[in-house]
Structures are given as C-alpha cells and as structure tokens.
Amino acid sequence: MEKPDREAARVAGAGPLILGLETSCDETAAALVTRDGRILSNVVASQAELHARYGGVVPEVASRRHLELVTPVVEEALARGKKTLHDVETVAVTRGPGLIGALLIGVSAAKALAWSRRLPLVPVDHLHGHVAALYLDPEQVEPPFLCLLASGGHTLLLEVAEKSGFRVLGRTLDDAAGEAFDKGARLLGLGYPGGAALDRLARMGDPEAYRFPVARVPGLDFSFSGLKTALVYAVRGLDAGELERRRADLAASYQRAIVKALVEQTLAAAKSGKASRIAVVGGVAANSELRSAIPDAALAPLDLCTDNAAMIASAARFTPATPFPEYLALDAYASAA
Ligand code: KG4
Ligand code: ZN
C-alpha cells in the first residue's frame, strides 16, 4: 500500500490524470498519475498470501482474485487521490507480458472504464512499466542510461535511449533472478515469495561461507538455473540441525552469487556501451545487497520496484494512446515480443 510521504505529496487540482491498472501476475493495482509524473495515489493489493500455500502463483486462482479486487482497487485509487472518473483523461493498462488470464481481467476492466467515459486507452508493456518507474517524482531519471531489469518473471539488460522504449542487450537464458531468489528461499524454508525474506536472513550470514557458481554466459545474457541446483545439493548434504545452523550462511552465499552475476554483467554492459549512467529496476531491485553493490546507480523507490500501477501510468505518458472505441478489439499477450 501507499507510503505516507507519497500520500502527502498529493496535489490538489492536479492537471490531466492517467488512471493506471496492473494485473499481470499476483498484484491487483491501480494508480493515479499526472502527465508530468506526480503520483496522486498508488494502491497495490497483493495476493501473495493466497498463493503462498501452493508455493507459487496459481494462474486460475490469480485471475479469479483479480476479478474480485479490480473494481475496489480502482475505487480506492480514486478515493485516495480525492478524484472521480470525471477527472481522468486517459486509462492505461498492462497488456503483457504476464499470465494471460490475469492480464485479461485488467485489460477488460480498463476497456470498460475508458469506454464508459469515451476516453482513450493506452496499452502498456509491463517491462516498459518497470523502466518508467524511474520517470516518476520525486527524482525523475533522464535517459540515456543502461538499465538492469530484474524481477520474478524477467531479467534483462536494456539500453534506454528515450522514455518511449528500450533496446534489449541481454536476458536470462533460463530462470529470472527473482525466480532464483524465490526457489532458493523455498529450499531454505522461507515461504513464498521469499526474495525479501532471503534478503533479511542473508544479513545474518557469511556470504563467503559457501562458494556457489556464478554462471558466466557469453555476451550479456544471464543464467541462474545452475545456482539453484548447487543450493539443492548443499542443502541435501545437511541434516535438520546443521541446516538450521547454516541457513543464514547459505542465504548470504546464495544471494552473493545472484548479485555478483547481475552486477558483473551490468558493469560489462556499461563498459561496452555509450550510456554512463546505470539504473536498476524490478522487484529484485529491492534487494539490499544489490542496491548497495553498484554505487551511483539510479534506483526506483522500494514501493515502485515491485509490481504497481503507478509505473504503468508513467509508461503511458510516453506511449501512443488508442482512441475510443478502437481499443475494444485490443488483446493481451503472455510473452515478450
Ligand atoms: O517486479 P516484481 O514485483 O514482479 C514481477 O514482475 O515478476 O518482482 C517480484 C520478485 C519476486 O521474485 C521477489 O521475491 C523479488 O522480486 N524480490 C526480492 C526482494 N523483494 C522482492 N528479491 C530479492 N530481494 C528482495 N529484497
Ligand atoms: Zn513486474
């Protein structure tokens, strides 16, 4: 949910407003953002607890929950911004990539909201949304920059020359960094999604205790599946008591290997590229070790790193709108193009 200081930054009589919606995975989110990048409200209803008992997101369960939550979450975003639909000039929604059934709930809701008021609709790419978290107040980042996008579903290195998009320089060949965090957390008995819990546990451990492999892939790509297998073997070799004693060391060493892989490739890309600035976005950008590993990197505030709708509304500021009623034919997409 919204941070109090952000709430305080709300402005009365703000200019034309964008209502953003995000339902690509297990967060139902809505936000009000001004054309110049001020957040009036940013509401995120997480379904994490609902999926925790299954150890991961169950797509059909997620879709049903989005359907229940989407209207109350939009109402909450309007109420917190002290606005009504009359104040909204554009509706923005995540079109993909993500879980197709989950995306369709957001896209359908956005179409209905826009259509009912004859408003234009902006279809937003979720990855562009993560980058556009950097274009919001209080510290708007200006391209060009090199961007590491690390989340539960994606791990990419992007060259960002302008706010309207990016060029992919490298990506993970198997698991995403967030997925590696979540799988590691699960092996260490930290529940789902465990990235943040592993981060906390790692602070109490020795990152040099175990030597986990940092996969070096050619070019600017990443690979995390070998790391997860190494942790499986390390855990398997310990009895229950030993595992309990070594859990923090395992977490710290495992986290060190993920962060090292991310940082090494990012610095290699920065060396070979034109942009002097580095930015880090996506859920894994909330990781404390990663946040301190690249000095001077531009980082989105913590609540804008994980999935939210303010970043989607922000991306809509730099994406062409589809006029009423053309967007009624708009479809969602599950995978990145
Ligand atoms: O961006 P996001 O909210 O959703 C996707 O688009 O995937 O990212 C969620 C991911 C999860 O894998 C979660 O465990 C991870 O971000 N995450 C973290 C931390 N906070 C969230 N990973 C490591 N350290 C954290 N502090
Ligand atoms: Zn995301």
Q: Ligand 1 centroid vs 82 CA: distance in angstroms?
A: 30
- Residue type at position 167: R
Adjacency order of strands within the sheet including 167-171: 167-171, 155-160, 145-150, 278-281, 298-299
Binding site membership of 33 for ligand 1 (Cβ less than 6 Å): no
Q: Name the H helices within the chain.
A: 4-8, 48-52, 59-80, 100-116, 126-132, 177-187, 195-202, 225-236, 240-272, 288-293, 302-305, 310-316
Instruction: Please tell me the number of the ligand nearest to residue 56's CA.
Output: 1
What share of the chain in percent tops pLDDT 70? 95
In one-letter notation, the amino acid at residue 165 is: G
Which atom belonging to ligand 1 lies closest to the Cα atom of 130? Answer: 1
CA distance 110 to 90: 10
Across 75-99, average pLDDT: 97
The pLDDT value given to residue 7:
43
Closest ligand to the CA of 202? 1
pLDDT at residue 275 greater than cutoff 80: no
**Does residue 86 contact residue 74 with C-beta atoms inside 8 Å?**
no
pLDDT digits (tens, 9 = 90+) for 294-321: 989 999 999 999 999 999 999 999 999 9
Fold of 145-276: Nucleotidyltransferase; domain 5 (3.30.420)
A 10 A CB-CB count for 176 gives: 23
Identify which ligand lies nearest to the alpha carbon of 46: 1
State if residue 94 touches ligand 1 by the CB under 6 angstroms criterion: no
The domain spans of the chain are 17-140+306-329, 145-276
Q: Return the CATH number of 17-140+306-329, one of 3.30.450.40, 3.30.420.40, 3.40.50.10470, 3.40.50.1820.
A: 3.30.420.40
CB atoms within 10 A of CB 333: 15
Judge whether residue 10 has pLDDT over 60.
Answer: no
Mean pLDDT, residues 62-86 taken together: 96
Please state whether the peptide bond connecting residue 193 to the residue before it is cis, i.e. omega within 30 degrees of 0.
yes
Q: What is the mean pLDDT of the chain?
A: 92
Give the distance (Å) from ligand 2 centre to CA of residue 153: 7
Q: Check residue 235 and give its pLDDT.
A: 95
Q: What is the pLDDT of residue 337?
A: 63
pLDDT, mean of residues 191-201: 93
Do 145-276 and 17-140+306-329 fall under one CATH topology? Answer: yes
Residue 26 CB–ligand 1 contact under 6 Å: no
Give the tokens for residue 335: 């995978």
